[in-house]
Amino acid sequence: MGSPDRRQSLARFIAKKKFVEEAGYPGATNEPDRLRYEAEVNELARSLGALSPSDQTKAVVLDKFKPTMAKFEYADSEEQDRFLRYLEELMDIFGIESSDGLLSEWRYGFDPRKSADAVNAEALAAMTVAERELLKRLDGMTAANAEGLLRSVLGQPATDTPAIKMWLLVPDASSAIGLTMHGGTLVFGWTAKSRFMYARKL
């Protein structure tokens, strides 16, 4: 069960009402969803608390996260962000300082410790033949022609604001291409959830 302090911290964590409105988070959209999300997180916390002290290691705890992370795979982005904060709280309780990229890779599709070139190389390796063909068609993209080229290839963007243009490649938005401004630089990005994230400055 671990130390008394850890047991108390886990008990407080489980008792806390979750996915409720707070600063920067609007709360779950409805009560049935909120209760379901809360139950998943509490079940994870209980399973961690049931581990013997010798099993309460970083490797075991992070491995226990994975089935619950899979259950949040298609939750709204606000719920995913809040879920990650609960995972970080659990990491604190178990004295784990870093997830070694596990959380970022799940949420954003990349490991922040890797270089942009390494991330893009992994993305290319993960792409299907059709996806690589599409990327090849966009090879000559520059800041000046990017929007016109993407519109000619993909049609009208699903999101069209001065800050971001986003084209959904599949209806559930699990694969999307976008143009965003970062520090005055236009960035082309392609995210295929749980498979890859590719980005390059134009």
Quick one: tokens of 3?
């130390």
pLDDT tens digit string along 42-58? 999 999 999 999 999 99
pLDDT tens digit string along 83-121? 999 999 999 999 999 888 888 777 766 555 667 788 889
pTM for this prediction: 0.59
- Which domains does the chain carry? 4-107 (1.20.1480.40), 110-201 (no CATH)
Q: How far apart are CA 202 and CA 176, in angstroms?
A: 18
Question: Which position has the token pair 């390059």?
Answer: 200
Q: C-alpha 23: how far from its chain's center?
A: 20
Q: How far apart are CA 71 and CA 57, in angstroms?
A: 23
Q: How far apart are CA 173 and CA 74, in angstroms?
A: 10
